[in-house]
Structures are given as structure tokens and as C-alpha cells.
Amino acid sequence: MKTRIFGALAAATLLASASFAADLKVGFVYVGPINDGGWTQIHHENALVMKEYFGDKIDMVYQENVAEGADSERVMTQMALQGADLIYTTSFGYGDPTISVAKKFPNVKFEHATGYQRAENVSTYSARFYEGRAIQGHIAGSMTKSNIVGYIASVPIPEVVRGINSAYIHAKKVNPDVEFKIIWIYTWLDPAKEADAAQALIEQGADVILQHTDTTAPHAAAQKAGNVITFGQAADMADYGPSPRVSSIIDNWAPYYIERTQEVLDGTWSSVDTWHGIGDQMVGIGEISSAVPTEVKIEALALKFRIASGEYEPFTGPLNKQDGTPWLAEGETADDGTLAGMMFYVEGIEGDVP
Amino acid sequence: MIEIMNINPILLVASLMVSATPILLAAIGEMVVEKSGVLNLGVEGMMIIGAVVGFAVAILTSNPLIGFIAAAFAAALLSLVFGVLTQVLLANQVASGLGLTLFGLGLSAMIGKNYEGKQAPSLGKFEIPFLSDIPIFGKTFFSHDLIVYFALLLVLATYLFLMRSRHGLVLRSVGENHDAAHALGYNVVRVRLLAIMFGGACSGLGGAYVSLVRVPQWTEGMTAGAGWIALAIVVFSNWKPWRVLVGAYLFGGVSVLQLNLQAAGSKIPVEYLSMAPYLITILVLVFMSVRGKQASPASLGKVFHKSG
């Protein structure tokens, strides 16, 4: 909590110092520190790419370590008051605050990442991370020797549940005996908790750890244990390659940031809901390392290209829900509405969605 | 409760000791500080400074033990800032302590910039001769790293110092009634400064344990509130060293146990498991404190000046 207060002070100075004239002022609100090695760092790097692209045409301001909730509302208000024309709010929990601040500043455009609430001046954008999860699931199912895959889940929202389902479906396809052990830690970023969760999973036999949290702590735990593989989340996390980190899902926001910022400059911006995947290059698959057997790597890459071309959808029937009720018939694919609100496990996963 | 069978008790105890040690170190240090009548809310800030300095020095020297020593010194130095502010300049302790936490978090982020993504040398296991050879029991309790035992010995040493030594009596009397202690000729400010530095060193060790053993890596803000947990444990343990030990191990233990129960597919809803560490620790410590009188040091948080 205290980091955020400090962060607020730091940002206040930052906002104050960046007051020279440019055509457009673009703000970014981050949930973690810009060097978390994952989610926030990759947002920030992509934001910097955008800044580089536009050069002096835009001003960029940002604020790191902003708690979801009231703190974020204050930060967004502050940015708007300081003259930001476009504000990217980059965490799911910023949804309500973004809508509420957007109402007060009808001339400021807002872009809320991974959210679902839109308004005249609020767009939402997200990536189809679950496409990347399909590839992770495939590698995980192929490589596990204990047939136990550990999954560190953050907060119970559809995005996270979707990732678990997608990974499970594709692990099960290559390995019918695979079992998922899932731990919910109720935070996006807490290295010690992430490490403890990874440790608990490893002790219970998991030799593959998938994570939907923001730091590299699970990789450190896997490295200490040996013979456990992990996947980079949001960022490549290549420091831990070639093993334990064998591949990754990389978020590639820069093309979207450039496109949307250009639209504001041109005056053509309008509220939209964007959900891009591997095909649109919003989701990247990090290099599959030498620790992965060649045939598995080839299968995984083929799967990636089939998803990218649209030939294959990760959620394709026949699929049942956890309780055995049919969800998708043979060959049927899931519609975006169902995916966006997915709060159920598919058949075979143990435990309940919290 | 068949799922519990999946949890290996030996590994569970090992994990809970690792999970509890940072909080235990920070809490035992803060308890001594509060026993001397000073409330230092800067535990989180001192821990994170310990985490980053310990990590950096361990990398520079390739020796984790030197990292721990440096962490203790750095955090003690930081606590001295608080000490001078509150004991010499008579500043408000609550505000100074909060300021210390903010300062520590910011400074650590700055120091840590060059250490992102690096890996520290590992602190090996220290198997206690003979004892670690006892089947099961030995592996469970006598085969951890050095700092785990150090933290336990520190609890014992703190207890003996406070309750069985003359210096400990002086420290407690300073905390109970600083005017009376002053009238008896004891140097209140010096006693408190030393206590504050001891608390700082302990917090620093706790922080370094997070970045060098528990995680082990450096991430900004990585102590994530452990310092506040330590502060709460001191209060709920009624300022008694053994209860601090119980509180820290209970919190660390239930934290690790709930993660293991989740992984084992427990039928208990995840929400309850997640709140369990906080709830159970508070309930047990409060229950232990119901009987007997409140042991809060009478001069806790009060400003002392020789003029009375």
C-alpha cells in the first residue's frame, strides 16, 4: 500500500515536469512497478515504443504501482486534470474507476485493458491470451513426466479461467492422464506468495508450472527445484531460459497503442472493443527453448500457425462443462460472448472456480 | 480430508519455516523496540532495504552470508535515522515510522534497478550433525539453512535478555515509565536508540531472507506487506517473545498449508483458505491473550524529554 503513496508522489513530480507543449498528452496507469519483469514492464516497454514512434508529437506520462480501486481513480483524475488527452488504464480492476473518471472528463479518451465496460469515451482492449495458453498446454502435456501440471492463478475473473481451460484442453489432448493442480493467490503481484505457491505445487508432484501472475518468482522456485519447467507470462522472462523457462506468452501492445493514439491525433477515435490474438500479433509466443524436444516444438509451432491463420480455434467441440453437461458440439466453436464471461471449468478439471 | 494425504509433512514443515522466518525476524526485533517504549512503523521500509542490500551485496561478493550481514547493517543504519528523528529531535513516532517505510520503499527501488533479473548465490542447507540423521524428524527439523536456526535462537536470546538479564530489565523499565527510569539514572535515549537499531537489524535480516532464500530474486516492493504483518503479530502476541514465535510460525504455517490444500484439491472453498492465515493467527493469539493483563508497555509511543 505504501509503495503506491510513494509512487503517487513520484508521479506528481513526473507529471509536473512533463509540461512542454506537444500535440497530444498520453497517460498510462500501471498496477505494478515498471520493472516487474512481466505484465507492467511489457506495457511500459510497448508504451515507450509508441512514444518513440510519435517522437515530439506526443507527451507521455505514466504512473506505476497504482492500486486497483480508489487509488487508481485519484491517479486518473490527476492525469486528466494535468491535461492528458488519452489515458490507458492497464489492469482489469481499473474498470469501475475508469468509467467513473471518464464521466467527469468527457473530452478525455480512455482505453481500459482487459475490461468489459465501455462508454462514449471509453474503449476496451485485450489480447486472446488463451490462444497462447493452448500452445503452453500442448507443451506442458507433452513434457510432464509426473502428469501433474501446476497452475498459479491470480484473481478469479473470466480471463484467468479461460486460460486454465485452454491450457487444460490442449494438455489433455496430447496426454489423457494429465491432471491440473490449481492455486488461487488472489493477487497479480506478490513474489513471495508466487514462490510459495510454486513450491507447494512442486512438492505435490508438479513438474510443469503455468502462471497467470506478474513476476518471475515461480521461475526461481522451479530453478531451485530442478527438473521443473515454466513459461514466461506477459513478458518473455528469457533470463530463466532455456530451462526452467521453455517458452512464453508475450503481450504485444505497441501496434495497438500506435494505432489508437494516431486515431486521437487524427480525430477519428471512437469507442471500440478490441480482442486480438496471435493472428493479429497482439499475442506473441516466445522462443521455444532447446529444453523442449524437437517434435514437441514442431507440433507447438504448427498449432501456433493454425491458430494464427484462423484455421483452428482453441475452444472447439466436442467439449463438456465440468459437471458433464454438453457445451460445444463436435466442430462447434465458442462465441466471444461466452468466452468473455467464462466462469466455469471444462470437464476434467478438479475443484471449483472461486 | 483424503486430500491431506497428498501433502508431504516433511516438505510442508520445511516450507513453513522458510515462509515464517522473515516475519519472525522482523517481529522479534520490533518487539524489543516496542518493549523500550518506541513504536516504529517503519518495519516494512527496513525490511525492503534489507532485501535489496542483502541481494546486491550477495551478488557482488558471491557470498549470501555477507549479504545478510550487510542487510542487517543497512537496515540498522536506516532505523538510526528514525531514532535520531524521534529520540533526539522528538519528532512524532507514527509519522516518522510511516515516513521511514515510504523512504525505504523508494530508496530500495532505486538501489535495485541494476539487480533486476539477476540470480543470487544460494545459501546452502546446514544439516545439524547427528540430529539431522534421525529418521523423518531429523529431515523435518534439523536440516534447514542457517538463518532459520538463527531466528529461533534469536527468540531464545531475546527472551533471556529481556526477562533474565539486568540490561533487559533496564530496557523494560524505560518502556514502562521513562521518567522513573530517567530519575534512577538510566540513559533513556541511549537505551532506545540501541533497541531501535536492533529492531532495524532484525528487519533487515528478515528482508534479506525474502530476497536471498524465499523467492530468491529482487523485485521492487517484494516484501509486499510482510512488515505490517510483523507489526500486527507483535501486538497480538501481547509483547511476549514466545508468542511472537507462535504467531509468526502460525501465520507462515497456515499460509503454506492453505496453498498446499488448494493444490491437493481440498473441498474447502478457496476464499476461506485464503483468509485462513490472517484469521487463525489473530484468533489464536487473541485467545492466548484473553487471560492475564494487557502487557502493552506503558510508555509506548510517548515522547521523552529529560525536562519531564
Where does the pLDDT of residue B308 fall: very low under 50, low under 70, confident under 90, or very high at 90 and above? low
B148-165 mean pLDDT:
96
Q: Report whether pLDDT(A348) > 80.
A: yes
Tell me the percentage of chain A whose pLDDT exceeds 70. 94
- What are the domain boundaries of chain A? 2-127, 129-251+282-340
Q: Report whether pLDDT(B292) > 60.
A: yes
Q: What is the pLDDT of residue B2?
A: 55
What dotted CATH number matches B2-290? 1.10.3470
B13-21 mean pLDDT:
90
A239-251 mean pLDDT:
91
CATH class of the domain defined by A129-251+282-340: alpha beta
Q: Does B219 touch chain A (CB under 8 A)?
A: yes
Contact assignment for A220 to B216 by CB distance below 8 Å: yes
Q: What is the pLDDT of residue B288?
A: 81
- The grid cell for A62 is 505514466
Helix H or strand E segment including A151: strand A148-153
Chain position carrying cell 520493472: A35
Contacts of B22 in chain A (CB under 8 A): 192
Q: How far is B244 from chain A (nearest CA, A)?
A: 21
B190-212 mean pLDDT:
97
- Of A169, A232, A220, A194, residue with least CA distance to A41: A232
Rounded-to-integer distance, Cα B199 and Cα B192, Å: 10
Q: Report whether pLDDT(A12) > 90.
A: no
pLDDT digits (tens, 9 = 90+) for B31-88: 999 999 999 999 999 999 999 999 999 999 999 999 999 999 999 999 999 999 999 9
Q: Does B143 touch chain A (CB under 8 A)?
A: no
Q: What is the pLDDT of residue A157?
A: 92
Average pLDDT, chain B: 91
Contact yes or no for B42/B199 (Cβ under 8 A): no
The CATH superfamily holding the domain A2-127 is: Response regulator (3.40.50.2300)
The SS3 call for residue A122 is strand
A284-289 mean pLDDT:
94
Q: What ipTM was estimated for this complex?
A: 0.87
Q: Report whether pLDDT(B128) > 90.
A: no
Instruction: List CB contacts of A314: < 8 A, sequence separation 6 or more.
Output: A130, A131, A133, A134, A166, A169, A170, A307
Q: Does A83 touch chain B (CB under 8 A)?
A: no
pTM above 0.90, yes or no: no
Q: What is the pLDDT of residue A235?
A: 86
- The grid cell for B133 is 540423521
Q: Does B9 touch chain A (CB under 8 A)?
A: no
Q: Report whether pLDDT(B162) > 60.
A: yes
Q: What is the pLDDT of residue A13?
A: 47
Q: What is the pLDDT of residue A2?
A: 44
Q: What is the pLDDT of residue A3?
A: 47
Rounded-to-integer distance, Cα B221 and Cα A190, Å: 8
pLDDT digits (tens, 9 = 90+) for A102-161: 999 999 999 999 988 999 999 999 999 999 999 999 999 999 999 999 999 999 999 999
Q: Which of A174-178, B21-25, B90-94, B294-298 has the lowest mean pLDDT?
A: B294-298
Of residues A18 and B306, more confidence is placed in B306
